[in-house]
A and B are shown apart, each in its own frame.
Chain A
Amino acid sequence: MSAPLIRMTGVSVAYGGTPPVLHGIDFVLEPGEIVTIVGPNGSGKSTFLKAALGMVAPAAGRVVRARGLRVGYVPQRLHLDPSLPLTVARFLTLGQALDRAEMEALLRRVGVPGLAGRNMATLSGGQFQRVLLARALAARPQLLALDEPTQGLDQPGIAAFYRLIEDVRQELGCAVLLVSHDLHVVMSASDRVLCLNGHICCQGTPSAVSAAPEYRALFGLGTGGALALYRHEHDHGHEHAGHATAHEVHSHDA
């Protein structure tokens, strides 16, 4: 009944003849699970997401997705060429059928009602990201995949956006796979945090330690105290039922 949405086994990804960006990835995403992927620049976070969704083919290993998996994908901030006239309505109906009412309901849900007639190029950064989210939600996804969705937003904007994703997830009950460039911005609701640096360094539940005042002082209250300690799990996370023991973050540099 609850077969995993995605199962990756021994996955490596390489572009051209270069050394692999990712190697030895074993990962299982269960329905409704919220997983955040963090790691430094160039650690293969986006590639991980693309491999999981089938957007890039693995050089080795296997990626199995549940049959008929509905994915809503929110890309990194896109750069629209100003020579392309594109209204929000046209963008939302690109490749999918939506009527006026559904469109309005979606835009209202993500907090930007009445934008349907606006040109995409005139939107603010926050509005733009919300429209991208609205597009991803249109098909009522079982998995919402977001690739650094808050790039270019200011601190309150980031906080508001993550709160919105949490709300939406509770309504839809979908799984969330989120890539974040910032090691410290991790949703408090994450079931699991994956620390990536070419391979999975460590993974585990974000800790309640995020309530500690010094962390709050560092990262602000915006994300709802959404800070995490990274915990290491010896069995690489098929069950993450709370027996994770705190470890230091490993860093194996090649």
Chain B
Amino acid sequence: MMLDDFMLRALLAGMMVAAAAGPLGCFVIWRRMAYFGDATAHAAILGVALALTFSISIFVGTLATALMMAVLVSTLAGRGWAMDTTLGVLAHSALALGLVAVSFLPRVRVDLTAYLFGDILTVSWSELWVIGGGAAAVLLLILWRWSGLLTATISEELAQSSGIRPDLERLALTLALALTVAASLRVVGALLIAAMLIVPAAAARVYARSPEGMAMLAVLFGWIAVVAGLGMSLQLDTPAGPSIVTAAAAIFTLSVGGAGLWRALRPRG
């Protein structure tokens, strides 16, 4: 079977996003930032509206709003607001505000679905470069700071005693998160970006024996989800982004179920 050109681009885009989302998703899980990822991703719709209004690149627009959201969340949380309340208010407000802002755009007819759920099958080569650049930046950032990030995740005090600054590591993660959101908006859409971060990493937790192993397994599961999801989309004519997340959810279910079965059937020692 010949791979059509658009299919090749979709595969590449999906796999690059999954490669960045795997390790980042592990940190999101370890540091209990799942909802934080959601809020940042939802802010991206507002970024789309702003980018179209001011005719700047959508990547830059979403990156900027995602970063602003991340900083806002950190500031409010630092002032003693309960984290889940803060995120609940901000995530949904950002999404609603973004949807309202988009509706004000005069002549441009925006295909909102493409930004809410992604439109990976129409990714152009130039967009692919942007996605690849964003994903590579996230991967490099995480690899560069891996040891410090991991130490600060385990214990901020232990990190400080080794001369690591937890606030800088937090900043690095925030930046990586905003970059990932901007890079994956076209792939899975604002509503499902958090799923690409969390679901493969959660599935990887079942088998992982080390942090590094979990990150690599999360990437592998992400890749399988992209291939399977795109295949499903092609065969059944389902929307590509949600199909990829559905495939990831299936992997998670098989992972957890399989591990439970293994424990139940394993001969007792």
Determine if chain A interacts with chain B.
yes
B93 interface residue, CB < 8 Å from A? Answer: no
A101 interface residue, CB < 8 Å from B? Answer: no
Contacts of A86 in B (CB 8 A): 154, 210-211
B158 and A73 form a contact (CB under 8 A)? yes
Tally chain B residues at the interface, Cβ within 8 Å.
25
Which of B9-17, B100-108, B135-143, B145-153 touches A? B145-153
Report the nearest B residue to A71, measured CB to CB: B161
A85 and B211 form a contact (CB under 8 A)? yes
With contacts A73-B161, A75-B161 known, is A83 near B155, CB below 8 A?
no
> What is the 8 Å Cβ interface bit string for chain A, positions 54-91, against chain B (1 contact, 0 not)?
01000000000000000101011010110111110011
A73 and B157 form a contact (CB under 8 A)? yes
Question: A50, A55, A87: which contacts B210 (Cβ < 8 A)?
Answer: A87
Chain A at the B interface: mostly helix, strand, loop or mixed? loop
Contacts of B160 in A (CB 8 A): 50, 55
| Closest Cβ–Cβ distance, residue B181 to chain A (whole Å) | 22
A95 interface residue, CB < 8 Å from B? Answer: yes
On chain A, which size bracket covers the interface? 20 to 34
A22 interface residue, CB < 8 Å from B? Answer: no
B214 and A85 form a contact (CB under 8 A)? yes
B232 interface residue, CB < 8 Å from A? Answer: no
State A145–B160 Cα separation when bound (angstroms).
13
Contacts of B214 in A (CB 8 A): 85
A90 and B151 form a contact (CB under 8 A)? no
A95 and B147 form a contact (CB under 8 A)? yes
A201 interface residue, CB < 8 Å from B? Answer: no
B213 interface residue, CB < 8 Å from A? Answer: yes
B220 interface residue, CB < 8 Å from A? Answer: no
Chain B at the A interface: mostly helix, strand, loop or mixed? helix
A83 and B151 form a contact (CB under 8 A)? no
B210 and A83 form a contact (CB under 8 A)? no
B109 interface residue, CB < 8 Å from A? Answer: no
Question: A71, A76, A84, A119: which contacts B154 (Cβ < 8 A)?
Answer: A84
Contacts of B205 in A (CB 8 A): 83, 85
A83 and B161 form a contact (CB under 8 A)? no
Contacts of B161 in A (CB 8 A): 53, 55, 71, 73, 75, 145
With contacts A81-B30, A85-B211 known, is A94 near B147, CB below 8 A?
yes
| Closest Cβ–Cβ distance, residue A47 to chain B (whole Å) | 12
State A84–B26 Cα separation when bound (angstroms).
8
B162 interface residue, CB < 8 Å from A? Answer: yes
A147 interface residue, CB < 8 Å from B? Answer: yes
Report the nearest A residue to B159, measured CB to CB: A95
Report the nearest B residue to A79, measured CB to CB: B155
| Closest Cβ–Cβ distance, residue B157 to chain A (whole Å) | 4
Report the nearest B residue to A80, measured CB to CB: B154
With contacts A83-B29, A86-B154 known, is A95 near B162, CB below 8 A?
yes
Q: Which of A76, A80, A84, A119 has the most CB of B within 10 A?
A: A84
Contacts of A85 in B (CB 8 A): 205, 208-211, 213-214
A81 and B32 form a contact (CB under 8 A)? yes
B158 and A75 form a contact (CB under 8 A)? yes
| Closest Cβ–Cβ distance, residue A100 to chain B (whole Å) | 15
Q: Which of B32, B162, B202, B214 has the most CB of A within 10 A?
A: B162
State A55–B150 Cα separation when bound (angstroms).
18
With contacts A81-B30, A84-B153 known, is A90 near B158, CB below 8 A?
no
Question: A50, A75, A84: which contacts B30 (Cβ < 8 A)?
Answer: A84
With contacts A71-B161, A75-B157, A78-B158 known, is A87 near B209, CB below 8 A?
yes
State A71–B213 Cα separation when bound (angstroms).
30
> What is the 8 Å Cβ interface bit string for chain B, positions 199-238, against chain A (1 contact, 0 not)?
0001001001111011000000000000000000000000
Report the nearest A residue to B157, measured CB to CB: A75
A95 and B154 form a contact (CB under 8 A)? no
Contacts of A84 in B (CB 8 A): 30, 153-154, 211
Contacts of B162 in A (CB 8 A): 73, 95
> Ordered nearest first, which 5 A-B pairs have the shortest CB separation?
A73-B161, A55-B160, A75-B157, A78-B155, A85-B208
* Extra pairs beyond A85-B205, A85-B209 (14, CB < 8 Å): A55-B161, A73-B157, A75-B161, A78-B158, A84-B154, A85-B208, A86-B154, A90-B211, A94-B147, A94-B150, A94-B154, A95-B147, A119-B209, A147-B157
Residue positions of A touching B, CB distance < 8 A: 50, 53, 55, 71, 73, 75-76, 78, 80-81, 83-87, 90-91, 94-95, 119, 145, 147
